[in-house]
Amino acid sequence: MTVFQKAKDFFQGAVRQASPIVSAVGEAQNPPVSLAAIAPAADQTGPGGEPFDELYSRVRAHILARIGETAVGTEPFYHSFIESIFPADFYDAVRAHMLQFKYSDKVHDRHQDNPQFMTQRYNLVGNTDDVVRCIHGIFSDPEVKLALLANFYTSPSRELADALHIHSEFE
């Protein structure tokens, strides 16, 4: 049984997707990640036992479709709230992964927050878990970045998409 399957079984009764908000932060320190760079060994699988490359392709296609189907809000500023950005089974895996670290001793204080209210986080930089690499790879993909940018710019260029990178403190 894979980690995804165990996590899904364990958190089966957990709260369903709460619609994450997507934003792009430009930082030139992290180069775009290709599927080849994040692909795990052939024996690793995602939710339901599918090979990683199939999981990646399926989740990427779902995200691109959701971006294309989502209207841009204009008040109080231009924004995009993308409901169900992940397929339900992948969201379950993301949530299980998050909860695995949330209740562990691997979280650290976030010192960039208000000193009166310190939150904690688990830094995902260098994390090699399938779910993390899948998300990082998809949101580093030039086509995904262009799809997001197309909601806010009249003809976003590939150069603009290439200039956007996941923050170096990927959380």
DSSP state of 108: E
Residue 48 or residue 6, greater confidence = 48
pLDDT computed for residue 30 by the predictor? 35
pLDDT computed for residue 169 by the predictor? 63
Domain boundaries, the chain: 3-29+47-163
- pLDDT tier at 77, thresholds 50, 70, 90: confident
pLDDT computed for residue 168 by the predictor? 67
pLDDT computed for residue 92 by the predictor? 94
| Residue appearing with tokens 């403190």 | 169
CA 163 to chain centre: 18
* pLDDT of 87 above 60: yes
pLDDT computed for residue 45 by the predictor? 55
Helix (H) or strand (E) holding 109: strand 108-109
* pLDDT of 3 above 70: no
* pLDDT of 15 above 50: no
* pLDDT of 58 above 60: yes
- What mean pLDDT is predicted for residues 13-41? 36
CB 54 within 8 A of CB 149: no
CB 43 within 8 A of CB 136: no
C-alpha 137/C-alpha 16 separation (Å) is 24
Residue type, 130: D
- pLDDT tier at 113, thresholds 50, 70, 90: low
Q: Which of 49, 149, 124, 119 is nearest to 89 (CA)?
A: 49
| Residue appearing with tokens 């989740």 | 59
- What mean pLDDT is predicted for residues 63-69? 96
C-alpha 51/C-alpha 37 separation (Å) is 15
- What mean pLDDT is predicted for residues 29-58? 60
Residue 154: burial class (beta carbons within 10 Å; 0-12, 13-18, 19+):
exposed
Alpha carbon separation from 132 to 69, 73, 150 (Å, rounded): 25, 28, 25
